[in-house]
Chains A and B, each alone.
Chain A
Amino acid sequence: MRTPRPDQVRIGFYICHCGTNIAGALDVGEVVNHVAGLPGVALARDYKYLCSDPGQELIQHDIRDHGLNRIVVAACSPLMHERTFRRAVEEAGLNPFYCHMVNIREHDAWVHTDRQEATAKAKALATGAVRRVALHKPLETKKVPIHGEVLVVGGGIAGIHAALILADAGKRVYLVEREPTIGGHMARFDKTFPTLDCAACILTPKMSAVGAHPNITLWTYSEVTQVEGYVGNFNVTVTRKPRYVIEDACTGCLQCIEACIYHDARFPDEFNLGLGKRKPIHLPFPQATPPVVLIDPGTCIEFKTGKCKKTCVEACADRRAIDFQQREETRQIQVGTIIIATGFQTFDPRRIPYYGYGVFPTVYTALEVERLLNAAGPTGGEVILRNGKPPQRVGIVHCVGSRDENTNRYCSRVCCLYSLKLAHLIKEHTGAEVYNFYIDIRTPGKGMEEFYNRVAEEGMHLVRGKVADVYPDPADPANGRLMLQVEDTLMGRILKVPVDMLVLSVGLEPRADTQEVRRKFNLCCGPEGFFLERHPKLAPVSSYAEGVFLAGCCQGPKDIPDTVAQAGAAAAQALALIVRGYTEQEPNTAYVREEDCSGCKSCIPLCPYTAISLAADKQKAFINEALCKGCGVCVAACPSGSIGQNLFEDEQLLSEVEGVLTYA
């Protein structure tokens, strides 16, 4: 192994006390003494907090005063402060890659209890680093330009809000929504807690702003089918499903719906969760954005038999918006950053059979009740049961599919408050006696506890206990009245409460296709299945994929204020990248020594980032530096040893290992 000549290399070694984090667990002085005697080391010091300004300045002064040209910092994890020290070194005139960090906190001080052994380990690691840094080469961080366009996936309130901020900042936004209209879950709500302002009144202006914004390309009834590339340069394929209506030609006059051969709406209406009916040609709801109708080929006579009179086409007349021949289309776009705002799905209460959802017609989910309460809903805002009668007694069961080992362990965060809201609204609409059955009432947030107070004062029955059984009331089986059996845990008494209507406050779940979306965008999921943020506190909207940000309930259950705040944060993060105009790339990339490469192609399928291709002219492997993440798989796999990697050169690694072993 080649040893550097001492007159060439002058290493400065610094060990950080990190308060007592490191100095409390090992003998810092002993490490300094040991390293000071190693070849090439010009200076070795310890310091209380090296990451502080004076700590950094100490290194910078030493570089100038002692002619240091390599720096080793033994401190915390490089994830924490590698940038800090590289920048300090660079400011003092050295190439930042002449600085190397040794992690003696997470890898040593925090995980060992024997002081002597911990000190020995720190010495070994430091020796390895000193050996390695001597062989470091100056490297350059590459700047890769960023496309200014942003893809927002999902058109609920999170996606809408993020798209508007970016568009208002003058950036081009592609908003892709799977459903025929944007609006998401919020568009289905009646009123919102705790202020009770109407969801539509605050949402639809934002929806139409999206539809009208010159900087937003809105693709509804569309899905992202492929994502390639990397931060700043994503190539995205979007598939647009046929709605059999030409978007640009449709004026939203709705005359086609009027003219449909079916006089009456008779098919379950998806937007109203099957509580209402629609025709084959329909608009999901009056304020749908875009205001473009669509045809359901599953129920349309023309699609089923080809023999419809096509009264809709007649009604559309010379606008000629209806196109039975429409096919699925794909669009290719290039964007620099992506915001994932794919939302959630509500828990399917059939998974808890003892609540009788789908068995007893008087059992509803909370979302269904939102539609019943809504003036634009299937009953025009009247809370009436499937038998046409208004309920006189209503039970609301909290935590359905939340806080339960058998379904979802986590608290869905919004159910307590929406249950209180529904209790208030049901009482307001029907005058019914309303019972809330809860385990704990959780009302954090501005104005929330006050709202709880207000609803309680209105005379709601609040029973602390999880409903255990639901069965038809033996005294009144004919009218569909149900008996709820529950322990009032505060009274310590078993109650049997007859109700005409049972509302299940279903929890929020990751969408069924979360794993598919995760793979498409290279994201990670937490244990409960929601997309994982990079740091729960300090990077709550960043994903583990560079340039891909998270907003709203796809990251975890949250209410509308938090969703909007997070969407704004995600937009700001995307904007920060765009405005800077470039991303920096770690130069620890792999490179091909072409003279040795035989063009065997064995590295190509192994690369997890599809960074390697075969240069057709030379028949040699070619590594796209922008795509390479420096994982080293190709380096290890190359049969002729013709792939190297910056910062992880064979000689660097081997002398580091030697250094560690020499000491040990």
Chain B
Amino acid sequence: MIATIEPELATVCQRDTTLETLLQQPEGRRILSCIQCGICAGTCPYGEYMDFPPRRIISMLRRGLMEEVFQSDSMLRCVACYACMTKCPRGIRLSDVLLPLVKEQTLQRAPEMPAELQRSLQNTLRYGNPMGESSRKRANWVTTSPVPVPILAEIRRPVDVLWFVECYTSYYPRGQDNSRAVARLFNALGIDFAILGNEEKCAGDCGQLTWESGLFETLTDYNMEILRKYKFNRLVTGDTHAYNAFRIRYPMYGFNYELEHTTPFLTRHVEQLKPRLKKPLNVTVTYHDACCLGRRAGFYEEGRTLLRAIPGVKLVEMVHNRMNSLCCGGGGGGMWLDTYFKQKGMDRLSERRIKEALATGADVLAISCPYEVYRFEDALKTLPHARPMRVRDVVELLAESLED
């Protein structure tokens, strides 16, 4: 298998790296070694809609012609899916460093910010979540949980697992399904866990990937301060984007806690879980590799291992799987750019992916990233299909099979 990008690397670049300083840094020297093979442009899901795909950006950067690049809105089409970075034969950290820096400059020069994106970023700054919900309602879902969900500020003792719930899984009904499932699984495994409750704010991954650096640093400073208040052994989150932010960028701000996503975390406990998975689901399932979990972190088999542990699950693969998975289109701010993309005549990536999922004949599309529930359930609504298909997070399927 192709080596995944080294996960142990503490930081991908300096906190204050800019396009001006980039080429003098080790990461920038890799950019100088680009052989212009174009695999980045070829693999980019929106490559055909870009005037300046990554290859041309590098070319322009090396010639000092970046201003021309910023004038185009190409970079707004980047959904931070890590496909270009994973396949780059020179190991250039496109999605980690170069592309977000270009995106920041592009947004700064844009005559008009796409409204949907602007609103989400403003909400995140004001309320700590992109939907603009009250921060005091963040932990309300806990009352609907079938098992107790302790909140750190209330229990006032150290815990083993600090569960960082994150926004979609706190506020949106389908996201709460994910949270309730995780609570049940933690409970079944006897994990000593607690959440931050209303003290939690968005980790800011998409702020980071759009390189809205001011917003991102505000969230980082806030969350780091809250985390410092409590004692815990590890931070576990079910949100792949929060996981990504903690893993890739928070270390630049002093984050050095043990970190895990629920999918690999539960996979570590799969043998303990198996005897409790009693209810056969009798479904055919196809698994969608989330970009931040798969390509960026190398967890391809963990989600599949969990699915195979469920009785009555038949696993089938889509054409594009594992490192070649197709993005749902939600990353890098794409979650709030659907209207903008539509205006530009671009097709929706979630629909492309759903077509592949439907072609497998599966009953269930299993996912491991909270963005995807919305994106794929929406795509199923707009795409005509004969055979019904459900979108379920892996944790939801596990909880469904869990004995009472």
Contact = CB atoms under 8 A, between A and B. Distances in A.
Contacts of A405: 88-91
Given A351-B1, A407-B2, A465 B37 contact: yes
B3 A487 contact: no
A467 B324 contact: no
Nearest to B84: A468
Contact of A487 (B55, B319, B324): B55
Contacts of A465: 37-39, 42
A487 B38 contact: yes
20 contacts: A351-B2, A353-B2, A353-B323, A353-B324, A354-B43, A354-B324, A399-B37, A403-B89, A405-B91, A439-B35, A439-B37, A465-B37, A468-B42, A469-B42, A469-B324, A472-B319, A487-B38, A494-B41, A494-B47, A494-B48
B324 A404 contact: no
Interface string A459-474: 0000011111101100
Interface string B4-40: 0000000000000000000000000000000111111
Interface string A487-518: 11100101000000000000000000000000
A440 interface: yes
Contacts of A464: 38
B89 A404 contact: yes
A44 interface: no
B319 A489 contact: no
Contact of B87 (A354, A439, A489): A354
A377 to B, nearest CB: 31
B128 interface: no
A618 B215 CA distance: 85
B123 to A, nearest CB: 35
B38 A354 contact: no
Interface in A435-484: 439-440, 464-469, 471-472
A486 interface: yes
A255 interface: no
A406 interface: yes
Given A406-B89, A465-B38, A471-B320, 5 more contacts: A399-B37, A468-B40, A486-B38, A489-B36, A494-B48
A354 B323 contact: yes
A208 interface: no
A81 to B, nearest CB: 38
Contacts of A353: 1-2, 322-324
Q: How large is the interface on B (under 10, 10 to 19, 20 to 34, 35 or more residues)?
A: 20 to 34
A103 interface: no
A440 B35 contact: yes
B2 A352 contact: yes
Nearest to A465: B38
Contacts of A56: none
B42 A487 contact: yes
B90 A467 contact: no
A287 interface: no
Contact of B3 (A406, A471, A486, A489): A406
A351 B91 CA distance: 16
A403 B36 CA distance: 12
Contacts of B88: 405
A488 to B, nearest CB: 8
Interface residues of A, number: 27
A613 interface: no
B208 to A, nearest CB: 25
Contacts of A646: none
Contacts of B55: 487, 489
A217 interface: no
Contacts of A352: 2
Contacts of B42: 465-469, 485-487, 494
Contact of A466 (B53, B89, B91): B89
Contacts, number: 80
B56 interface: yes
Interface in B29-74: 35-43, 47-48, 53, 55-56
Give the 4 A-B CB pairs with smallest separation, nearest first: A468-B42, A487-B38, A468-B43, A487-B41
B320 to A, nearest CB: 7
A69 B290 CA distance: 79
Interface string A329-358: 000000000000000000000011110000
A528 B37 CA distance: 22
B141 to A, nearest CB: 39
Most chain B CB inside 10 Å of its own CB: which residue of A399, A466, A485:
A466
Interface of A: 351-354, 399, 403-407, 439-440, 464-469, 471-472, 485-489, 492, 494
Nearest to A360: B319
A6 B363 CA distance: 100
A466 B38 contact: yes
Contact of A468 (B36, B39, B323): B39
A353 B86 CA distance: 12
Contacts of A354: 43, 87, 323-324
Interface string B144-168: 0000000000000000000000000
Interface in B182-204: none
B77 to A, nearest CB: 13
Contacts of B41: 468, 487, 489, 494
Contacts of A351: 1-2
Contacts of B3: 406
Nearest to B46: A494
A570 to B, nearest CB: 33
Nearest to B38: A487
Contacts of B38: 464-466, 468, 486-489
Nearest to A438: B37
A487 B53 contact: yes
B289 to A, nearest CB: 12
Contacts of B53: 487, 494
A354 B56 CA distance: 23
B37 A489 contact: yes
Interface string B72-102: 0000000000000001111100000000000
Nearest to B41: A487
Contacts of A403: 35, 89
Nearest to B319: A471
A623 to B, nearest CB: 47
A464 B55 CA distance: 13
Nearest to A471: B319
Contacts of B322: 353
Contacts of B36: 439, 489
Contacts of B320: 469, 471
B47 A487 contact: yes
Contacts of A467: 39, 42
B83 to A, nearest CB: 8
A425 B397 CA distance: 53
A349 to B, nearest CB: 11
Nearest to A352: B2
A207 B89 CA distance: 40
Contacts of B43: 354, 468-469, 485
A353 B89 CA distance: 14
A488 B324 CA distance: 20
Nearest to B56: A492
Most chain A CB inside 10 Å of its own CB: which residue of B1, B41, B323:
B41
Nearest to A403: B89
B69 to A, nearest CB: 13
Contacts of A472: 319
A354 B37 CA distance: 16
A410 B87 CA distance: 17
Nearest to A495: B42
Nearest to A492: B56
Contacts of A487: 38-39, 41-42, 47, 53, 55
Contacts of A466: 37-39, 42, 89
Contacts of B37: 399, 439, 465-466, 489
A399 B320 CA distance: 22
